[in-house]
Structure 1
């Protein structure tokens, strides 16, 4: 029984060699009937028991005529339904996206406040804004200064109140100014 299965394997191997054309002499540079690099490496030329010629009556090549409707080439899997979005460069200047309102100074409490609205119009990216606000007296002298980070989601608006305390006590009009607003992508 064992010998019969060994013969079947040998006949199948010869048939495979015949179909692929690997058993012809002079077809490969090593002179043998096998190509090295396959399973178990190559077989040296002149090895005993290795057939080198095709048996008569065996086909010498693969069929060239395919039935109609047979696929050709690699299978196509179509395009993915959603491709990853590549986010391009961004402008780190965010001053145009920040607006202030309600500039207020309470001299009795030494309290300064300023409402800031940050609008992120980018539809795909969140940003972290670094915002600086200064309060100035009528002559342009600095009364107070506050710096704050705020993250605004894509296509959203956030309102914050900037506050600071000061020892300035004169009852006079003051000005509030957003002196810087830089942005960086946030996750």
Structure 2
């Protein structure tokens, strides 16, 4: 019986010795593989050996997070100051005409004139002149003239009809145009 026990014990010792020898060989192989080096790669886990491995470091990007307690900065915004109203004494751009006509029964020219004051604060007086001019041939001859002054408040429109009566009993056939020749504007 001693012999069997001895054999088992020896067997166990032999197994332990074989395992220990294997570990020693593995350690020598690992240390030998690391000591040898490959120059091109590094050692990654397990036992190093014949294959080359390259290790690259992970790349990270950093973007700062705004501090929620930091007071935000504001750029001041400026709105332009209103431009002052310009004054042009020639008020013809404020005037519009319509209904250029001649009545044979009344022997009268007529023209409806609308004057709009573009100012938001000033009242203007318009010194108006309306001419009925010869159209064919357009030689600069005037058939009639109407003059009037009209006062228009800020932003208001005033409309009137300019008239001119012909003194002749019969004028025959003629061509004419209506023209606003003057709209002199003054502040009140």
TM-score by length of 2: 0.50
Return the structure number with greater helix share.
2
TM-score by length of 1: 0.50
